[in-house]
Amino acid sequence: MAMKMDLNSIIEQMEIGEQDSALTALQSYNQEMNHCFTFNKEDEQDRKVLGELVMGFLNRDLQPSCHLACLETVRILSRDPLCLDPFTSRSAMSTLARFAGIAVSSPGGAHNQGEEGQAEGEEGERGEAAEECNEEGKEASPPSENADQEVITEALKSICNLLLHNQTGQVVAADLQLIKGVAERLKQCHDPIWNHEVRFFDLRLTFLLTALRVEVRAQLVQELHGISLLSN
């Protein structure tokens, strides 16, 4: 019961929309939940609400510390396979990819949109997916200009969690061509500018994308010269 009260308090602070109070609330939540991998079903709806609020904050012009706290919260919430709806729309995945420093392409057209609808239909979310696609339109999210590697790492961790737990996230990630952005950074793997964690989660994301999506695997090998890239 105490956890539920804490979560409600955090949601209240987020709904007010004031940056400093939201940052304090999220940092407290993140510290308490950092090592949590199982979640109370009773709080499922509250976690979804928190996820939606956090994604809204990520699309605002805020202090880097607030964006980092939001991404840490997404990383924690994305461990719960039952509460991923706020993070698997095209717009949400584009936002996370932007913070991860991955160049995101425009949607791939009717075929890919239909495939996404089919995947979400299997999960009972077809109507919501169609609405998200309509809202997003055909605009591509620009690459992140934030070079903070802690921010990049948190975003990469969140995307990896989504791919691991959610078929819709896998389809959207493939449709957004995230493999291209990852491959571009893998070319710089020997550059000392990138720390160990960024390199590790770039490789983890590459593994998940290619293991879960056959077309991404073929794209990496044929178009992006994946064999030479990964053996370099």
pLDDT block averages, 10 residues each, the chain of length 232:
67 94 95 92 94 97 95 97 96 96 56 42 40 37 59 97 96 92 80 84 92 85 63 57
DSSP string, 142-162: PPP----HHHHHHHHHHHHHH
Structure tokens at 126: 């077809």
Q: How far apart are alpha carbons 89 and 136 in whole angstroms?
A: 9
Phi, psi values for residue 27, rounded to 5°: -60, -40
Count of structural domains, the chain: 1
Structure tokens at 171: 């389809």
Nearest to 171 by CA among 90, 58, 79: 90
- Angstrom CA distances, 78 to 52, 75, 96, 164, stand at 12, 5, 12, 10
pLDDT at 186: 80
Cα torsion 152, 137, 58, 210: sign: negative
Residue 185 belongs to a domain with what CATH number? 1.25.10.10
Q: What share of the chain is helix, strand, coil (3-state, %, to 5)?
A: 70, 0, 30
Nearest to 101 by CA among 193, 216, 223, 213: 193
**DSSP assignment letter at 140:** P
Q: SS3 string of 78-101? A: CCCCCCCHHHCCHHHHHHHHHHCC
- Residue 25's CB is within 10 A of a number of other CB atoms, namely 22
Tokens 């995945």 belong to residue? 93
The domain in which residue 103 lies consists of 2-231
The answer to whether residues 210 and 174 touch, using CB atoms and an 8 Å cutoff, is no
The answer to whether residues 51 and 86 touch, using CB atoms and an 8 Å cutoff, is yes
C-alpha dihedral, 201 to 210 to 113 to 185, nearest 10° = 40
Structure tokens at 206: 């590459």
